[in-house]
Amino acid sequence: MADSIIEEDLTIEGNILSGEGSVEVKGKVKGDLTAQSVTVHLDGSIDGELSAKTVEIEGRHSGRLNCDRLRLASTSVVQADITAQSMTTESGAKIDGKVKVSGT
């Protein structure tokens, strides 16, 4: 499984697909992102649909979010309709949108 890192000084405009790998976002993504695992670091942001088995957000996301496991850090700001099987939210996390947690 390959790991990809979008560094702080990088902005990607377009869709990203990592079939078997994980993606760490420290910079900016303007487009849809699909991977096995996605981590949005404190200064990172995604503006588009996010789809992965595991998602951890410390930074910002706007768009739809679909995952199996979601962890929102206290610093996260999410403006999205969320669909997840399980979700952990730290105190201070900001969510604006619909949330559906199936629990399966």
Q: Where are the domains of the chain?
A: 3-101
* pLDDT on residue 104: 67
Q: Using 50, 70 and 90 to split pLDDT, how confident is the model at 1?
A: low
Rounded CA separation 33/18 (Å)? 8
**Reported pTM:** 0.94
Q: List pLDDT tens digits, range 70-101.
A: 999 999 999 999 999 999 999 999 999 999 99
13, containing H or E segment? strand 11-13
Q: List pLDDT tens digits, range 31-78.
A: 999 999 999 999 999 999 999 999 999 999 999 999 999 999 999 999
Q: Which of 96, 41, 102 is CA-nearest to residue 67?
A: 102
